[in-house]
Amino acid sequence: CSSGGVLVYSDSNPLKRTLTADGQETKKKKVVVLGSGWGGYSFLSYLNNPNYDVQVVSPRNFFLFTPLLPSVTNGTVEARSIVEPIRGLMRKKGFEYTEAECVKIDASNKKILCRSKDGASSGVKDTKEFDMDYDVLVIAVGAKPNTFNTPGVEENAHFLKEAEDALKIRQSVINSFERASLPDLTEEERKKILHFVVVGGGPTGVEFSAELHDFLVEDVAKIYPKVQEFTRITLLEAGDHILNMFDKRITAFAEEKFQRDGIDLKTKNMVVGVTADEISTKEIATGKIVSEPYGMVVWSTGIGIRPVIKEFMHQIGQGQRRVLATDEWLRVEGCDSVYALGDTATINQRRVMEDIAAIFSKADKGETGTLNKKEFKSVVKDICQRYPQVELYLKKKKLRNIANLLKSANGDDTEVNIETFKQAFSEVDTQMKNLPATAQVASQQGKYLAKCFNKMEKCEKKPEGPLRFRGEGRHRFQPFRYRHFGSFAPLGGEQTAAELPGDWVSIGHSSQWLWYSVYASKLVSWRTRSLVVSDWVRRFIFGRDSSS
């Protein structure tokens, strides 16, 4: 508002105000972003809309490059090399950051409750609680390690999720070797201390086992030659195979390599409890329970939902679900102005069969009850764009396009009626899959959402879009589409398995180099990139640092 020709801001900070097209001054929309991980950081890096007042809330004032976290556990890479302070990005973009954890989301009042971290390490013990309003909330808080309520895990096992976890593991591994080297221990005692157990045969558990094994053969053998013979690594997996999300060839290669390396691989074994000295497993086929002494357990069996999100889900009527659901535009279902991405959420994909009648009647312009070639062609593009499962289905059936799919249902008839149309798509929805909880997905979602936010005003003014089904004209943006660029599974000994798009599998030393270069290029800044590359070079020349 202006008084006597002088601008007076009711909100004292001019940065929080903006001019509209007709010269009116309005308060900027306040976008609160929860989390500074893959999803949050990517969203913030691509967000370029001066009309937003952006507030970031995260207990962690840095981004963590998680794919290299297993390499921190044995000192191949330093923790400092894979974190990027968030303050730099904040300054560059003019965003604000608050180091706190969101402990409650109050969606009906558009408010969150935050709690500052206690600075226990710096001697400050008290925490502060405060409210924060939002106009738009972006939830990217990730997930927490899942213990499946197995007794004793929380108290006795290590997790591998955050930078400090990796540092603790590193310290604990080295301490184990120092303790096992003390005089007057029995052979049994040394064996117990040096028994490393990894629970979970997913990519993280496998990579950690491989890193640990490399450390044992390449470094420990030289540094602790007297106790090396007592070391043992056990990898426990409840399922039939490790790396079961990968191609069978990769699983087989990994299992064989681990066997050759002397890693004790036990599949079909479920951990039922961990005490301070023993880990108990149940053999799934027989139900037999065995307890073994151990020195250190690393728990990596997947992720679970954070309590603050669980509570939020109850509030908005998603209490029955396992994960927070969004639509394909990443908007949280049952709640206004709240978006969610990354590990914390999953996209509730629409079924083609649910919409099939609507799709058909939209496409049938002349209302003739059949689709002619032209009508059919125009609807095909929309379907492919709107329903990702169609593409997967065509790939699986080795069909080039929907026309072929229809041909198999309709023969050579050029006109398509609703029945054949339905029949052609009847199995498509079986290909619906939730996206994996990966950095690749979270960062693509962050980028996608930022791009939507960047053109929000334009789209609000011109609310037409490419999507015409089910009254969805009001959605101005194309839905999020994931592009898979492939996955890696480092297996130790400078060997990596790579599964690339197009069914391309490569295993060995060449993929290791591909892995090095892909991850170096994915690092978020030249600073971290140069730090990581120099860590790798240092390790090649001097070996790993073994001080704890």
Q: Which of 29, 32, 39, 448 binds ligand FAD (CB under 6 A)?
A: 39
Per rule CB under 5 A, is residue 39 in the interface with Mg ion? yes
**Piece in contact with ligand FAD (CB under 6 A), picked from 128-136, 180-188, 342-350, 390-398:** 342-350
Spatial separation of the C-alpha atoms in residues 347 and 480, rounded to whole Å: 9
Considering the complex, what minimum distance in angstroms separates the CB of residue 224 from ligand FAD? 26
DSSP-assigned beta bridge partners for residue 113? 104, 131
Q: Which of 28, 29, 31, 37 binds ligand FAD (CB under 6 A)?
A: 37
Q: Which of 33, 64, 233, 498 binds Mg ion (CB under 5 A)?
A: 64
34 binds, among ligand FAD, Mg ion, none (CB under 5 to 8 A by kind): ligand FAD
DSSP-assigned beta bridge partners for residue 83? 64
Say which residue the tokens 């030659």 belong to.
225
**Piece in contact with Mg ion (CB under 5 A), picked from 8-16, 27-35, 370-378, 481-489:** 27-35
Q: Which of 33, 38, 102, 235 binds Mg ion (CB under 5 A)?
A: 38
Beta carbon nearer to ligand FAD, 342 or 479:
342
Supply φ then ψ for residue 230, to 5 degrees.
-90, -5
DSSP-assigned beta bridge partners for residue 55? 32, 96
**Piece in contact with ligand FAD (CB under 6 A), picked from 89-97, 137-145, 148-156, 259-267:** 137-145
Give how far Cα 254 sits from Cα of 200, 487, 496, Å. Answer: 14, 14, 9
Give how far Cα 197 sits from Cα of 187, 206, 288, Å. Answer: 19, 12, 19
Instruction: Compose the 96-135 pattern: x for residues touching Mg ion by CB under 5 A, - for all others.
Output: ----------------------------------------
CB–CB of 28/17 below 8 Å?
Answer: yes
Which residues have C-beta within 8 Å of that of residue 180, sequence separation ≥ 6?
189, 190, 193, 194, 224, 227, 230, 295
Q: What's the alpha-carbon Rg for the chain, to the nearest Å?
A: 27
* Total residues in contact with ligand FAD, by rule CB under 6 A: 33
Q: Which of 211, 219, 247, 343 binds Mg ion (CB under 5 A)?
A: 343
Residue 100: which H helix or E strand, with range? Answer: strand 96-106
Q: Which of 44, 140, 383, 450 binds Mg ion (CB under 5 A)?
A: 140
**Piece in contact with ligand FAD (CB under 6 A), picked from 2-10, 29-37, 286-294, 534-542:** 29-37
Beta carbon nearer to ligand FAD, 340 or 371:
340
Give how far Cα 216 sits from Cα of 128, 229, 440, 547, Å. Answer: 44, 10, 31, 14
Per rule CB under 6 A, is residue 140 in the interface with ligand FAD? yes
For residue 177, give the amino acid letter. Answer: F
Considering the complex, what minimum distance in angstroms separates the CB of residue 200 from Mg ion? 15
Alpha-carbon torsion (8, 12, 18, 20), positive or negative: negative
* Total residues in contact with Mg ion, by rule CB under 5 A: 12
Spatial separation of the C-alpha atoms in residues 522 and 488, rounded to whole Å: 13
Spatial separation of the C-alpha atoms in residues 306 and 144, rounded to whole Å: 6
Q: Tell me which residues in 91-130 interact with ligand FAD (CB under 6 A).
A: 101-102
Considering the complex, what minimum distance in angstroms separates the CB of residue 344 from Mg ion? 7
CB–CB of 79/62 below 8 Å?
Answer: no
Q: Tell me which residues in 247-306 interact with ligand FAD (CB under 6 A).
A: 306
Which residues have C-beta within 8 Å of that of residue 144, sequence separation ≥ 6?
161, 303, 304, 305, 306
Spatial separation of the C-alpha atoms in residues 375 and 359, rounded to whole Å: 11
Say which residue the tokens 């400090």 belong to.
164
Q: Which of 28, 31, 33, 35 binds Mg ion (CB under 5 A)?
A: 35
Per rule CB under 6 A, is residue 201 in the interface with ligand FAD? no
Per rule CB under 6 A, is residue 219 in the interface with ligand FAD? no
Q: Which of 67, 142, 202, 388 binds Mg ion (CB under 5 A)?
A: 142
Per rule CB under 6 A, is residue 59 in the interface with ligand FAD? yes
Q: Which residue is nearest to ligand FAD (CB)?
A: 37
Q: Which of 32, 47, 57, 254 binds ligand FAD (CB under 6 A)?
A: 57
User: Which is nearest to 460 in space by CA: 16, 17, 21, 45?
Assistant: 21
Beta carbon nearer to ligand FAD, 100 or 363:
100
Would you tell me which residues interact with Mg ion (CB under 5 A)?
A: 35, 37-40, 64, 66, 140, 142-143, 343, 346
Would you tell me which residues interact with ligand FAD (CB under 6 A)?
A: 34-40, 57-60, 66-67, 69-70, 101-102, 140-142, 160-161, 204, 306, 308, 342-344, 437-440, 442
